[in-house]
Structure 1
Amino acid sequence: VIPDAKYGDEVLTKFMNSLMLHGKKSTAESILYGALDTIEGKMSRE
Structure 2
Amino acid sequence: MTAGRPVSAEPWWQVEMELHRQRDGRCPVCGTRKRCWPWANANSARIVHG
**TM-score where L is the length of structure 2:** 0.39
Higher relative CO (CA 8 A, sep ≥ 6), structure 1 or 2? 2
**TM-score where L is the length of structure 1:** 0.41
> Higher helix fraction: Structure 1 or Structure 2?
1
